[in-house]
């Protein structure tokens, strides 16, 4: 994978997701950039602010009752590339999701920086927000390192 790749194909969790990422990479399309999300992402944007928008994950993690992504409008790889005001709005987006879903528990994972090192599959910063049951059928597992599990 080159340093300017949009996707880390090794981070795909299914053959379907890998094919999807390969097609987007070949087309030069970042799935999370606002000009592409409505056309290429199968889930609608459900909430939007000045810095972030919220959409369901097209490939939700096993063990979740709901899996959302909170994505910055700007194509950035790291939190340091966003203004401080984006941090307050991120907290607001998390609160909005919590109130919408009213889950037993939640978890978030935010991978910032080089996707070749942090385990992300897309070179556009995003936060995973998952809702969890009291007795899930499966443990939710996030990849937060480039090393294979």
Q: What was the pLDDT predicted at 149?
A: 45
Which of 41, 20, 6, 1 minimizes the C-alpha distance to 122?
Answer: 6
Confidence (pLDDT) at 75: 97
Position 148 in a domain: no
Decide if 144 is inside a domain: no
**How many residues make up the chain in this entry?**
149
Cα(137)–Cα(6) distance, integer angstroms: 33
User: Is residue 117 domain-resident?
Assistant: yes
Whether 81 shows a pLDDT value over 80: the answer reads: yes
Q: Which residue has the tokens 């899930």?
A: 136
Residue 145 lies in a domain: no
What range defines the domain where residue 78 resides?
Answer: 9-132
Determine, yes or no, domain membership for 86.
Answer: yes
Task: State pLDDT tens for residues 23-39.
Answer: 999 999 999 999 999 99
Which CATH number covers residue 95? 3.30.428.10
Q: Does residue 26 belong to any structural domain of this protein? A: yes
Domain-embedded: residue 24: yes
Confidence at 138, pLDDT banded by 50, 70, 90 = confident
Task: Map 11-64 to HEC letters.
Answer: HCCCHHHHHHHHHHHHHCCCCCCHHHHHHHCCCCEEEECCCEEEEECCCCCCCC
- For tokens 């602010």, name the residue: 49
The total number of structural domains in the chain stands at 1
pTM over 0.95: no
Q: Counting beta carbons within 10 angstroms of the beta carbon of residue 18, is it exposed (0 to 12), middle (13 to 18) or buried (19 or more)?
A: middle
pLDDT digits (tens, 9 = 90+) for 82-112: 999 999 999 999 999 999 999 999 999 999 9
12-22 tens-digit pLDDT: 999 999 999 99
């Amino acid at each position: 994978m080159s340093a300017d790749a949009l996707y880390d194909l090794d981070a795909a969790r299914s053959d379907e997701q890998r094919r999807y990422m390969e097609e987007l990479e070949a087309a030069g399309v970042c799935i999370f950039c606002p000009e592409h999300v409505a056309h290429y992402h199968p889930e609608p944007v459900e909430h939007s602010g000045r810095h972030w928008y919220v959409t369901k994950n097209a490939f939700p993690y096993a063990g979740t009752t709901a899996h959302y992504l909170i994505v910055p409008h700007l194509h950035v790889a790291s939190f340091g590339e966003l203004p401080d005001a984006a941090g307050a709005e991120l907290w607001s987006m998390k609160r909005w999701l919590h109130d919408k879903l009213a889950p037993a528990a939640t978890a978030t994972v935010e991978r910032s920086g080089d996707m070749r090192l942090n385990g992300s599959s897309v070179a556009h910063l995003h936060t995973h927000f998952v809702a969890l049951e009291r007795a899930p059928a499966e443990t939710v597992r996030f990849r937060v390192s480039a090393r294979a599990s």
